[in-house]
Amino acid sequence: MVRSSLHIATWNARSLCHKVDELLHLIVNEKLDVLLITDTWLSNTIRLLVPGFRIHRRDRPDRDGVGVAIVIRDNILHQLTGITDMELSEAVAITIAGENNPITLACIYIPPDRRLPTQDLETIRALDPQLLWGGVFNITHHSWGCPTVNRRGQQLRRYTMTHQLTIYHPGEPTYIPDAANRHPQVLDFFLPPPGLSVREIKTHYTGTSDHSPVSSYRTAYR
């Protein structure tokens, strides 16, 4: 099936194998077409099935607390897009057929407390001019609703301005910390290509992860 619009969400699960019920609840209740998942913490010995959906995983059992996946309805025409190993980040990507032009979706995880992985960003951006990124960036700046700004936030802000990218973020925090000495932040968001309509960005305060799912209700493309 070829779609002209998609309902997409991104979710930092913090161990997916313990949250399968939350995964199913999110997909069913929000009527998602595509779910980008970070921090899956899966190994290749763990089997994961979602009825009516295909799952594309990039497991990294050799690293702590990583792994990414894309869950997509099995009636949406698409194919897996190859990404070379990156220095700091984790990513998995698919290309979806459109009515006129395809679009590539990339699920990205950037670990906290490290420099901005500019070369990793360039590797992902080179996949397709019509690239929609989504995931957890672990980078703070006032421009996307964070109460604090870090050096990487300033770097990402300059990077998006240089490449004419717009960060689409919800108006509420996506990260609610467990520790009292940390601030709620907007760490999960989308970066669509110029001309792609991404609307109704919303945070869903559900589940047990310290990151809440973020969805775009109408992502229209041609």
Quick check: is 168 in a domain? yes
Quick check: is 176 in a domain? yes
Residue that wins the pLDDT comparison between 44 and 171? 171
User: What's the pLDDT band for 220 if we cut at 50, 70, 90?
Assistant: low
Report the domain count for the chain. Answer: 1
Quick check: is 221 in a domain? no
Burial of 35 (0-12, 13-18, 19+ CB in 10 A): buried
Evaluate if residue 45 carries a pLDDT over 90: no
User: What's the pLDDT band for 151 if we cut at 50, 70, 90?
Assistant: very high
> Could you tell me if 140 and 146 are in contact, meaning their C-beta atoms sit under 8 angstroms apart?
yes
Quick check: is 121 in a domain? yes
> Could you tell me if 109 and 136 are in contact, meaning their C-beta atoms sit under 8 angstroms apart?
yes
pLDDT digits (tens, 9 = 90+) for 105-117: 999 999 987 788 9
* Whole-number pLDDT of residue 219: 67
Evaluate if residue 214 carries a pLDDT over 80: yes
> Could you tell me if 38 and 136 are in contact, meaning their C-beta atoms sit under 8 angstroms apart?
yes
Pairing of strands 197-203, 214-220: antiparallel
The partner residues of 92 in beta bridges, in order of sequence, read 107
Q: What is the percentage of the chain residues whose pLDDT exceeds 90?
A: 64
Quick check: is 108 in a domain? yes
Residue that wins the pLDDT comparison between 1 and 73? 73
* Whole-number pLDDT of residue 88: 87
Quick check: is 59 in a domain? yes
CATH code at position 169:
3.60.10.10
* Whole-number pLDDT of residue 73: 96
Residue that wins the pLDDT comparison between 63 and 163? 163
Residue that wins the pLDDT comparison between 137 and 1? 137
Q: Mean pLDDT, to the nearest integer, of 177-202? A: 88
Evaluate if residue 23 carries a pLDDT over 90: yes
Q: Mean pLDDT, to the nearest integer, of 187-196? A: 89
Quick check: is 134 in a domain? yes
Evaluate if residue 221 carries a pLDDT over 70: no
Domain that holds residue 112: 5-216
Enter the pTM of the model.
0.93
User: What's the pLDDT band for 64 if we cut at 50, 70, 90?
Assistant: low
Quick check: is 222 in a domain? no
* Whole-number pLDDT of residue 91: 95
Question: How many Å apart are CA 60 and CA 72, to the nearest integer?
Answer: 21
* Whole-number pLDDT of residue 60: 76
The chain-wide mean pLDDT, for the chain, equals 89
Residue that wins the pLDDT comparison between 92 and 98? 92
